[in-house]
Structure 1
Amino acid sequence: MPKYNARDVEFQVQDPDTPGTWVAIGGLNTFSKSHEEETTDTTTYASKGQAESQKMQIGKQLTIEGFHIRNPADPGQELVRELSELLGEDGLGGFRFAHKNDTSWEQWTAHVTLGDQGGGNNDKVSWSATFTRSGASTTAGKA
């Protein structure tokens, strides 16, 4: 598998008011995808002192970071902000990502948490969001 540039990965959020409409998230300069799992201990006396366990749950998160875009506002960042303010079922939205040359998207139903924004005297204002997957990933063909 050849190496590829992180900058060639595209990220989109679904517009909840227009199902099937996906909007690119701009201003990004880094991302990080993390995995977690929950296991249960299955060790018994018959294990003879050797630990045994089974994976019971898988979780995934993806954090995107970059610059806060304003005037004109980035529509993708604005949709992410709106999604971050919603609770319960309303707070679950569509998020997808893929390398620019891939033929399909990895697609999640996810809730989002906005990161801190800020900067120093000679900085541009930072922006970040963490998407936490709810349920299994799916794929969708790229048009």
Structure 2
Amino acid sequence: MASRPIDARGWLFEVEDVESEPDAWLPIAGITSFTHNPAENEETVETTAFESDGQYEQDVMQRGATLAVEGQYRIDKTTKAQDPGQAYIDHDWAQRLGIDSRNRIRWRHETQTVWVVWDATVTPGEQGGGNNDKTSWSCTVTKCGTATTMVVTA
């Protein structure tokens, strides 16, 4: 059987609510696109020397990564409250500074049985829209330390 590409709409993104019970993960609704950059914040050092015979050489000294998610600002139709995942990012996580600025985020494709988990910081994105648009929402998450995994349990 030939392999097939997966649908981008099958990716799931969740943020950990550290003020709730352990492992309280909030799905982030309204996402219409994402970009995972596994080379962001990478640092290298050149190691070319005479014995390299004119060929460039380097070592990676630092790894980094970012995850940018974009979509639509979502609210509950009845209560008018912002989507819990978006609200946690905008009003809790994005407001923290210093040692409190880190939080965990996880994501996976619906076909996968393991989450990728990052300890990370977040940068809120711009919001806006035009006359016939829906309001946009976005954020960029920057990985801090080594990524871990978590088995899907439900």
Aligned to 2:105: 95
Distance between the aligned counterparts of 1:49 and 1:105, measured in 2?
43
Q: How many residues align?
A: 143
Q: CA deviation at 1:139?
A: 0.4
Q: List aligned pairs for 1:1-143, cutoff 5 A.
A: 1-18=3-20, 19-36=22-39, 37-70=42-75, 71-81=80-90, 82-143=92-153
- After TM superposition, give the deviation of residue 91 of structure 1 in Å: 0.8
Residues in 2 aligned to 1:4 and 1:44: alpha-carbon distance in whole angstroms: 44
Instruction: Report the residue type matching 1:21 in the other structure.
Output: A
Structure number having the greater strand percentage: 1
Q: What is the Cα deviation at residue 44 of structure 1?
A: 1.6
Distance in 2 between residues matched to 1:35 and 1:103, nearest whole Å: 21
Cα deviation 1:26-77 (Å, max 9, x = unaligned): 0111111012221101112222322211111111100111011131310000
Instruction: Give the superposition deviation at 1:133.
Output: 0.3
Give 5+ residue unaligned stretches, structure 2. none
Once the two structures are TM-superposed, the CA of residue 94 in structure 1 deviates from its matched residue by 0.7
**Which is further off, 74-83 or 34-43?**
34-43
Distance in 1 (alpha carbons) for counterparts of 2:106 and 2:36: 12
Amino acid at match of 1:62: L
User: What stretches of structure 1 of length at least 5 have no aligned partner?
Assistant: none
Identity of aligned residues (%): 40
Runs of 4+ in structure 1 deviating by more than 6 angstroms, as ranges, are none
User: Could you say what the CA RMSD is over the residues aligned between the two structures, in angstroms?
Assistant: 1.1
Between 1:14-23 and 1:48-57, the stretch displaced more is 48-57
Length-normalised TM-score, structure 2: 0.88
TM-score by length of 1: 0.95
